[in-house]
């Protein structure tokens, strides 16, 4: 049974994005091609915004998931903040008129130049991940005559029960300050003259299908906030991170946690804490969702080039590759694969869907039953997150074009890279 959503479904035998046939989009713009649904994007963001309505809360989209300007513009106009991990991402926010006072800067390796850029635009907060970073930020802020608002990213040593490459909350992770060291690190931060201690941050991993680890991490953060208050270090915001998973359609995979249910349980716990131990003093809650906002808003369209029958494996060779969509090769991620126009009367067979890149790791899907012929267009489903944002130019392949669908209208929001674009900055030595 094809895995569809209200925004990507079959009509008259053709897969559509909203009310636009993906066959016509592929024919007009070519493949590989990323296609996004505006309605799906706004629906997913609104699920967070509606659950936060009436509360001191801020939804900061984790733009590493997908940083296309059209997507950032839609979210900024919807009231979103942004979770950034580089100076370049801050410049993207500014390019679409996003509010820097709704920007939080995460990441373990912020450079002096990035700190200066963020301070010059008075961002909301730096999520600091080490004592050396505290000292660097203090020095940079002092040299500019500014005070940097900071929170500490605390590593609660909670098992997120996800792929090890995207688990970030365990002791072995490069991210954050160890929970046992957090109190001493806050003392250091509070003593530095050019820092303002504003909050606490936590992010335990990505593609989380069970919110129990997130709620466990929340309990640990709440205890730490209370301990800090006893020392006169009063925090004004609690950033619980992101990481909620989406439904990729894999058989046997647990369903994702509905956003409203997760936020409801989280706010219930915070409200209980306020009543019992915090006397109702408000604390702003910040979220950093990425995949759960943009993941299932996009598909990657790709054209079948060859069907290659082998002794042990059959291969469906397509024009998209690991440079276009890295998740399967990097995380062994399962991606749904569906024909844009399902064939009738053509026998189905078992295939590995692979690309033309010269690597054995260049695959998009293993062991899929497909009825396809060369020239057919396939849709790699739920490819809106960590697709184009992780794409590369390996094998001198231009990155795919991107299209945003708004009802029956298709907007080209990123042109396809041409080979000449890829070496335009290079020089030969004679």
Does residue 346 or residue 245 have the better pLDDT? 245
pLDDT tens for 37-75 read: 999 999 999 999 999 999 999 999 999 999 999 999 999
For 25, other C-beta atoms within 10 Å of its C-beta total 22
pLDDT at residue number 191? 98
Give me the torsion for CA of 381, 385, 387, 390, rounded to 10°. -160
Average pLDDT over residues 11-34: 98
* Cα–Cα distance, 342 to 24 (Å, whole number): 15
Instruction: Delineate the domains of the chain, giving CATH numbers in brackets.
Output: 8-37+296-422 (2.40.37.10), 106-289 (3.20.20.10)
* Cα–Cα distance, 45 to 171 (Å, whole number): 31
Least confident range from 69-73, 207-211, 261-265: namely: 207-211
pLDDT tens for 216-235 read: 889 999 999 999 999 999 99
* Cα–Cα distance, 110 to 394 (Å, whole number): 26
pTM comes to 0.94
pLDDT at residue number 251? 77
| Catalytic residue IDs | 358
Q: Among positive and negative, which fits the CA dihedral 344, 347, 352, 358? A: negative
Average pLDDT over residues 170-191: 85
Q: Long-range contacts of range 414-422, CB-CB < 8 Å, 24 or more positions apart? A: 414/34, 414/68, 414/70, 414/388, 416/29, 416/30, 417/393, 422/393, 422/396, 422/398
pLDDT at residue number 310? 86
Average pLDDT, the chain: 92
């Amino acid at each position: 049974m094809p895995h569809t959503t209200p925004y990507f479904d079959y009509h008259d035998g053709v897969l559509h994005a909203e009310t636009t046939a993906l066959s016509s989009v592929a024919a007009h713009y070519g493949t590989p091609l990323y296609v996004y649904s505006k309605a799906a994007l706004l629906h997913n963001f609104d699920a967070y915004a509606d659950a936060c309505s009436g509360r001191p809360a801020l939804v900061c989209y984790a733009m590493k998931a997908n940083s296309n300007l059209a997507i950032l513009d839609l979210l900024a106009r919807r009231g979103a903040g942004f979770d950034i991990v580089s100076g370049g991402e801050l410049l993207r926010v500014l390019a679409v008129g996003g509010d820097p006072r709704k920007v939080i800067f995460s990441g373990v390796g912020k450079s002096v130049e990035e700190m200066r850029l963020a301070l010059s635009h008075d961002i909301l907060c730096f999520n600091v991940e080490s004592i050396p970073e505290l000292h660097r930020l203090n020095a940079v802020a002092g040299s500019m005559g500014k005070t940097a608002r900071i929170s500490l990213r605390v590593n609660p040593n909670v098992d997120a029960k996800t792929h090890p490459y995207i688990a970030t909350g365990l002791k072995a992770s490069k991210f954050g300050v160890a929970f046992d060291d957090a109190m001493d690190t806050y003392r250091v931060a509070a003593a530095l003259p050019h820092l303002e201690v504003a909050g606490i941050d936590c992010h335990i991993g990505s593609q989380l299908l069970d919110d129990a680890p997130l709620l466990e991490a929340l309990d640990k953060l709440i205890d730490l906030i209370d301990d800090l208050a006893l020392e006169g270090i009063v925090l004004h915001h609690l950033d619980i991170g992101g990481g909620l998973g989406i439904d990729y359609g894999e058989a046997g995979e647990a369903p994702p946690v509905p956003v409203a249910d997760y936020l409801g349980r989280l706010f219930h716990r915070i409200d209980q804490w306020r009543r019992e131990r915090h006397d109702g003093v408000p604390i702003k809650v910040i979220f950093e969702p990425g995949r759960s906002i943009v993941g299932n808003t996009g598909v990657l369209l790709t054209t079948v080039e060859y069907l290659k029958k082998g002794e042990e494996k059959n291969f469906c060779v397509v024009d998209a590759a690991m440079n276009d969509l890295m998740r399967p090769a990097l995380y062994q991620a399962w991606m749904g694969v569906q024909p844009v126009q399902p064939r009738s009367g053509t026998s189905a067979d078992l295939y590995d869907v692979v690309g033309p890149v010269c690597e054995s790791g260049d695959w998009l899907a293993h062991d899929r039953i497909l009825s396809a012929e060369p020239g057919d267009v396939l849709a790699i489903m739920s490819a809106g997150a960590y697709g184009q944002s992780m794409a590369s130019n390996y094998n001198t392949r231009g990155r795919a074009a991107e299209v945003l669908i708004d009802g029956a209208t298709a907007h080209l929001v990123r042109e396809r890279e041409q080979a000449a674009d890829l070496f335009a900055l290079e020089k030969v030595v004679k």
